[in-house]
Chain A
Amino acid sequence: MKESIFSQNLLKEAVRESFFKLNPRLLAKNPVMFITFVGASLTTMTLIFAKFDGFNLQITLWLWFTVLFANFSEALAEGRGKAQAASLRNTKVSTKARLLKGNEEALVPADQLRKDDLVVCEANDVIPNDGEIVEGIATVDESAITGESAPVVRESGGDRSAVTGGTRVISDRIVIRITAEPGHSFIDRMIHLVEGAKRQKTPNEIALSIVLSGLSLIFVLAVGTLKFFADYSQTSSGQDLSHLVTVPVLVALLVCLIPTTIGGLLSAIGISGMDRLIRKNVIATSGRAVEAAGDIDVLLLDKTGTITLGNRMAHQFLPAVGINERDLAEKAQLASLCDETPEGRSIVVLAKEKFSLRAKEYSPEHLHFVPFTAQTRFSGVDISQGNNVISIRKGAVDAIEKLIHSKNGSFPSDLKEKAEMVARNGGTPLVVSENNKVLGVIHLKDVVKGGIRERFSELRKMGIRTIMITGDNPLTAAAIAAEAGVDDFMAEATPEDKLKRIREEQAGGHLVAMTGDGTNDAPALAQSDVGVAMNTGTQAAREAGNMVDLDSNPTKLIEIVETGKQLLMTRGALTTFSIANDVAKYFAILPALFATLYTVSQGGEGPLAKFNIMGLHSPQSAILSAVVFNALVIVALVPLALRGVTYRPVGAIQLLRRNLLIYGLGGLIAPFIGIKIIDLVLVFGGLV
């Protein structure tokens, strides 16, 4: 997958393809290149039927090169996708599926499976099509689509029930309900996407094409009527310019003026934008979605997994009055020994780190573990020392309070304050008790991911507001929001709240992106302008979003936004560059055509020769240099088109200033230098 832009094979294939793409019907889709194509054909005709000479031949060749270079850029961009599609196709080897009918199993080809069919997969079976597990649990190797070799667990019910056709079951047995019709599976869509087979022009691409066509049309008129004005001037000055104002020269002028640079690279930019996303392991269902990503100004992010590491970690032991911290740590560790949750483990670890406690003085037979239940909402351990049983419990404040009261103990008020303080700071207080005595509070803390704060401030610079969504209470949420540096948060959020919030933001004129994985996220994913579903998520979520992140990494959204912006910026930059180039080309070609017009002395220079500020050698060399420059610049900018203009998270004004400076001013100056150099080379090489 990580092939370099210019691998040998891709290049060879692209060169071959660029000749196939000379098909006029294909070229007609791109008005700028079509005009170039027509112009090249016209000069070829002139060359064959009217005047065959070295100059016309060179112009004709370079015009054809211009078309070929444009084709080449498109072919190269497509080629990268095709290579990926080929590797995806390999996963689609025709498999047999074990269709379940009642209790009978039948072996049928995978492509005959319909929606809602039930199939069985066991270890080493390839899952025949997209579906949802209705029974069982299995480890699945999804490397075919994610590139990630570690197997993942898929189980029926819940948010991890979706499986993808083409992936392989490694262990256990599952029953899958098929959710995709043949030919419409996830892999099929991916192949279509990367191949660009179903590529439609995106709205922005269409708008830009209209601008480019309009500009081209203006130049067709400007150059077309120039013939008339030249004729008038010939008659008026009594001079003969017909050796210079010829069809090939006018076509050369036209091709130089129409925005061939952006016109030639436009589809390559679009294809490679999609391709860059795929390289980031994100599959977008349409180019439209990628463009929309660039416009996002509100990001809805789930707290867990995105902003925080996902698990709360024990951070501090806060003993009650009269209790030694070490004692509290020891009891808390005992209570957590069998607690396999990440929180439980973190308590054991903290106690070990702080006081080197290892909890080995008790033999297992003396320990009786009390698991967490939804009714009691605490867990713990009973330690039998002879007839004495010490019962240690840990749990939420109110749960332990209830327990203590039921044992006629009292809950010290200072501890309650401590617990509240923990909550205020965004932590979760866990109270530890021994029999009817409260020992203290464990401060469980949500650990904010490293670097996330910087990420959010980058987003802010990009003009994107982040909203954290969490099921926590408002106090906790506020503290984490402050620590992570998000702009806003939604506490105690239900899926309905999420949907409502998205609608509100959209009504306020914002474009909203969010990530989600659960079935209950599906409505919000569908409502949002850019919905990124996690690949680990349910089928419903993956259907509802318009992108799927194969890595299931919620922070990926930031990269998606950048890719979208980059896509538009690359188009804008190259358009500006292309138009700015025209100034120099006028300075090359117009004096060349009309340098001798209205000469005062016979054989001398006319007034317009003044504008030959580049000091180009002769009219022929000037015209040819402009055409050569125009063709070469396409090739020179292919890497930029494929990689995209670098995006920096700064405000719009700085961004525009920077791009204007590079591509506007650069586009103004570069051709003056380029054309001059080419002119020197042409003269030196004796080509004109």
Chain B
Amino acid sequence: MNVFDVIQIAISLLVLLLIGPYLGSFIYKIFEDEHLLPRFLRKIENGFYRTCSIDSKIQMNWKTYTVAMLVFNAVGFAIVFLLQMFQAYLPLNPQNLPIVSWHSAFNTAVSFMTNTNWQGYSGESTMSYLTQMLGLTVQNFVSAATGIAVAVALCRGLTRPQGKKIGNFWTDLYRGTIYLLLPLSILLALVLSFEGVVQSFAPYLKITGLDGIEQIIPQGPAASQVAIKQLGTNGGGFFGVNSAHPLENPTPFSNWLQLISILLIPVSLVFTFGEYAKSKRQAWAIFSAMAVLLVVGLGVSLYAEYSGNPLLGGIVSMEGKETRFGIANSILWSVFTTSASNGSVNAMHSSLSPLSGAIAMFNIMLGEIIFGGAGAGLYGMILFVLMTVFLSGLMVGRTPEYLGKKIESREIQMVILGLLLPSACILLGAGLSSVFPVALSSLANQGPHGLSEILYAFSSAAGNNGSAFAGLNANTVYYNLALGIAMLVGRFGVIIPILCIAGSMAEKRQAAAGSGTFPTDSALFVLLLIGVILIVGGLTFLPTLALGPVIEHLLMVQGVTF
């Protein structure tokens, strides 16, 4: 690691730190300030609602909100599934790609609906342009908007004075998509295509390279999808190798832009929360906890990677990494993409040193709360915040309260549910897969690394991350179904409890803070929050990690491989 790497990492973090608060307050205004945007935009918006016969004035309670969200997601799932099943008969398929297998179509439809973008397939050899654009790209937008809507609904529930309503799902969805994701994506797609990311409807090119061998160069409307893939923390690559592909991520600048875009909205949403709470300090507290976890993870990961592999004579391994980007950028990306539930990669995580791989995995296992997915990171983090508030409240001898609202058994029930379900999916899925022969036959490696592959796959699915450890052939009936279920539980097993919390918190009266109230914007709270996250995550996954990446690391140090 040289001085430029350090400078680049510092600049990346600094840029996010600078933009976050501004974009965060802008996002707040998108949802809550009727006078923010020019008249004609609101007219178009209202015209849209009229066309869909949506009453935008209606404020929903949490149940209505949940139902609207679920119906919308189900329709999205159906569209993506059907597009894949009929793409051979539909236009914009210059390569004449066949229909997708039912289980892969199911997996992909779930994957893009849940903002996971786990890809058991390879884009260029599976999906027609129509499926990519009408199915996947659209889901990239609306799945991110769904996450943001849920986060915004939760913010309202936590901060609104006593009431029942948490907003209107349809207007939240519209505003998040049209006023936030779309403009940012257009901007990013333009810059990316200037940098050389391909954007065309042309069929794949046949080119004879300098080595005299004929190659097929895949084409397609990539730039538009890549932009939202990063901004919406989706991560699903247009091409199979994702952002390691030169046409998806050609230059160091495109790499840096994409890196920033991964965390941009998750970071900003923390400050949006601050606007709702009418307290910047509350936002900074959550931000600090996330930032500490990010930086510490990054540090460990960089250290492990740069320590080199004794089996290779102590040199730093470049296997599975792009020479265009180098070690620092590969590690930075791996930490960013697993912290945010993005899942795009610019290096193969399977090739990371065992500890770097463990950090990537652990980031996901914690529940994607280190900034996390668009919206999902914030609401996931608030689960931990409520848990911490509960414990610290007890320890100061008061019924725990957050932002002046009491946390009682109903909220705690939902917090536990939201924390438990994804973890249960990871443990059960990986546990069963490590003994089922049908699951084991997909492994590329044996020993602890094989276990890491399985563990990573289920973590990625349940955490709605979508990155793959590589090495595991996941495009089988077993994995397509098992991981599909994990993605569903990991998404809605958190969203529904969150909306329930939003609803029940909205009904509570706000208590005034006094000196007996434990302040949730203090350094001590941040420390405690980090402690709770690490202890809960650690205690849940320590045994499993010990048998996977940890033992692999120790063996590597001893010079043993598999």
Residues of A within 8 A of B (CB): 203-204, 206-208, 210-211, 213-214, 217-219, 221-233, 236-237, 257, 291-292, 294-295, 297, 460-465, 508-511, 564-569, 571-573, 575-576, 579-580, 582-583, 586, 590, 594, 597-598, 600, 606-608, 610-611, 647, 651-653, 655-657, 659-660, 663-664
Contact = CB atoms under 8 A, between A and B. Distances in A.
Contacts of A210: 409, 412-413, 416
B397 A222 contact: no
Given A233-B451, A571-B394, 7 more contacts: A203-B409, A207-B408, A225-B544, A586-B543, A590-B546, A594-B547, A656-B395
Contacts of A564: 397
A227 B447 CA distance: 16
B522 interface: yes
B543 A575 contact: no
Contacts of B134: none
A583 B542 CA distance: 10
Contacts of B539: 218-219, 222, 257, 579, 582-583, 586
Contact of A510 (B392, B393, B512, B538): B512
A294 B560 contact: no
B398 A653 contact: no
B129 to A, nearest CB: 41
B219 to A, nearest CB: 42
Contact of A232 (B435, B515, B562): B435
- Contact residues of A: prevailing secondary structure: helix
A206 B435 CA distance: 38
18 contacts: A207-B412, A210-B416, A233-B551, A297-B517, A463-B515, A568-B394, A568-B398, A569-B394, A572-B392, A572-B393, A572-B394, A598-B447, A607-B558, A653-B522, A653-B524, A655-B395, A656-B524, A659-B395
A227 B392 CA distance: 34
Interface stretch (B15-23, B56-64, B282-290, B421-429): B421-429
Given A210-B413, A655-B396, A229 B543 contact: yes
A609 B448 CA distance: 16
A598 B397 contact: no
A606 B447 CA distance: 14
Nearest to B516: A463
B404 A509 contact: yes
Interface residues of B, number: 69
Nearest to A571: B394
Contacts of B547: 229-230, 232-233, 594, 597
B535 interface: yes
Contacts of A217: 420, 424
Contacts of A608: 546, 550-551, 554
A214 B514 contact: no
Interface in B468-497: none
Contact of B434 (A232, A291, A292): A232
B431 A229 contact: yes
Given A463-B515, A463-B517, A660-B528, A236 B447 contact: yes
B228 to A, nearest CB: 35
Contacts of B412: 207, 210-211
A647 B397 contact: yes
B376 interface: no
A575 B512 contact: no
Contacts of B531: 664
Contacts of B428: 221, 225
B515 A576 contact: no
B518 interface: yes
Contacts of A292: 399
Contacts of B516: 297, 462-464, 651-652
A222 B435 contact: no
A230 to B, nearest CB: 7
Contacts of B393: 568, 572
A576 B395 contact: yes
B533 interface: no
B515 A222 contact: no
Q: What 7 pairs between A and B have smallest CB-CB spacing?
A: A463-B516, A572-B394, A565-B397, A225-B431, A607-B554, A214-B416, A572-B395
B444 to A, nearest CB: 14
B400 to A, nearest CB: 8
Contact of A222 (B540, B555, B560, B562): B540
A219 B524 CA distance: 28
A222 B509 CA distance: 38
Contacts of A576: 391, 395
Contacts of A224: 427, 431
Interface string B285-319: 00000000000000000000000000000000000
Contacts of A214: 416-417, 419-420
Nearest to A298: B514
B164 to A, nearest CB: 18
Interface string B382-413: 00000100111111111100001001110011
B448 to A, nearest CB: 7
A228 B542 contact: no
Given A607-B555, A608-B551, A228 B396 contact: no
Nearest to A237: B447
B420 A222 contact: no
Contact of A660 (B395, B511, B546): B395
Interface in B495-545: 509-512, 514-519, 522, 524, 528, 531, 535-536, 538-544
B512 A508 contact: yes
A664 B530 CA distance: 14
A236 B450 contact: yes
A507 to B, nearest CB: 8
Nearest to B433: A228
A566 B399 CA distance: 12
Contact of A294 (B392, B397, B541, B555): B397
B345 interface: no
A212 to B, nearest CB: 10
Contacts of A510: 511-512
Contacts of A233: 448, 451, 547, 551
Interface string B443-481: 000111011000000000000000000000000000000
B401 to A, nearest CB: 9
B394 A590 contact: no
Contacts of A580: 535
A600 B560 contact: yes
Contacts of B514: 297, 463-465
Nearest to A651: B515
A207 B400 CA distance: 10
Nearest to B432: A228
Most buried by B among A460, A564, A572, A573: A572
B430 interface: yes
A232 B546 CA distance: 13
A511 B408 contact: no
B542 A586 contact: yes
Contacts of A651: 515-516
A295 B398 contact: yes
Nearest to B449: A236
Given A236-B450, A297-B516, A509-B511, A222 B544 contact: yes
A453 B393 CA distance: 28
A651 to B, nearest CB: 5
Contacts of A228: 431-432, 434-435
Contact of B435 (A223, A231, A572): A231
A52 B515 CA distance: 59
